[in-house]
Amino acid sequence: MRLRRIPRAEQVILDHPEWVIPEPKSMQGKWQEVFGNNNKIQLEVGCGKGQFLMKLAKANPDCNYIGIEKFDSVILRALEKLLDEPLSNLRLIWADAEDIDLFFQKGEIDKVYLNFSDPWPKNRQAKRRLSHPNFLARYARFLQSGQHIALKTDNFGLFSYSMLSFTASPDFRVLELDLQRQNNPDNVTTEFEDKFIAMGNSIFYLDVDRLELST
Ligand SMILES: C[S@@+](CC[C@H](N)C(=O)[O-])C[C@H]1O[C@@H](n2cnc3c(N)ncnc32)[C@H](O)[C@@H]1O
């Protein structure tokens, strides 16, 4: 994704700790306190400008949502959406997901969404893919048995890689695969997805759940 740097982004983010939660490692096990209820919490890794989570948070007020995004100029757009339309069941984390297993306690997150993650097509970049075995091991540390990861992409290379990665993992089981997710009436689209559907691309979808075999 080409990024336009926005110099004021960092300061705006720091000015709004009520929406972009600072020091997420210190919040491990405390996310229900942040939301002030015991509702389930779902998480989008690489949430971009936040369209998907805004839609879900509005449609499901009894569920809480967290978005993680590593670029300040991108998460700024999600924050601006929240400032325009405050949603008490949505929070953001400005961080690299490399440390994601340190942000959440086991069982604290009910479901993870990986939407249109960067494909990183070169072999030497594979470790950056959010479905690389190293990332799956991190998700497995805080997801517990029966909790899900849903992945969507229009990139067949990333899709097949992810399918193999989940299948090879002792921690996850592939439950559902859909090669035309755009036709599913329950599909909630993301910012990138809207563009890809407009271009005529198919949307590939995977639903997996956590198997409690190893940890
Ligand atoms: C192609 S965009 C998709 C954005 C959004 N999910 C959507 O579908 O519209 C991928 C996003 O993931 C973010 N991202 C990639 N790797 C990340 C990481 N390790 N930690 C946090 N965010 C990451 C990128 O900065 C980018 O904003």
Q: How does pLDDT run across 30-73, given as a tens digit for each residue?
A: 999 999 999 999 999 999 999 999 999 999 999 999 999 999 99
Is the pLDDT assigned to residue 215 strictly greater than 90?
Answer: no
Which tens digits make up the pLDDT trace of 87-111? 999 999 999 999 999 999 999 999 9
- Residues 30 and 182: their CA atoms lie apart, in Å, by 36
Give the CATH number of the domain where residue 124 resides: 3.40.50.150
Q: What is the pLDDT of residue 197?
A: 98
How far away, in angstroms, is 70 Cα from ligand 1 center?
A: 7
Q: How far is the CA of 67 from the centre of ligand 1 (A)?
A: 10
CA of 46 from ligand 1 middle (Å) equals: 3
Looking at residue 55, what is its pLDDT? 98
Q: Which residues pair with 204 in a beta bridge?
A: 153
Question: Is this model's pTM higher than 0.75 or not?
Answer: yes
Report yes or no on 54 lying in a domain.
yes
Q: Is 97 in the pocket of ligand 1 (CB under 6 A)?
A: yes
In a domain, 63, yes or no: yes
The active-site residue, picked from 118, 154, 171, 186, is 118
Residue 113 lies in a domain: yes
CA distance 159 to 195: 18
pLDDT tens profile 10-40: 999 999 999 999 999 999 999 999 999 999 9
Confidence of residue 3 (pLDDT cuts 50, 70, 90): confident
pLDDT at 2: 63
Ligand 1 neighbour 207 (Cβ under 6 A): no
Q: Is the dihedral of CA 60, 65, 68, 72 positive or negative?
A: positive
> Which tens digits make up the pLDDT trace of 148-175?
999 999 999 999 999 999 999 999 999 9
Q: Could you give the number of structural domains in the chain?
A: 1
Question: Domain range holding 77?
Answer: 24-210
> Is residue 71 left, alpha or beta, with left meaning phi > 0 and alpha meaning psi from -120 to 50?
beta
Residue 143 lies in a domain: yes
174 falls within a domain: yes
pLDDT-derived band at 213 (thresholds 50, 70, 90) equals: low
Question: Does some domain include residue 160?
Answer: yes
In-domain check, residue 17? no
Structural domain includes residue 61? yes
Ramachandran angles phi, psi of 48, nearest 5° = 55, -135
Q: Look at residue 4 in the predicted model and tell me its pLDDT.
A: 86
DSSP class of residue 15? T
Active site residue 118: yes
Q: Which residue has the higher pLDDT, 172 or 1?
A: 172
Q: Which atom of ligand 1 is nearest to the CA of 152?
A: 8
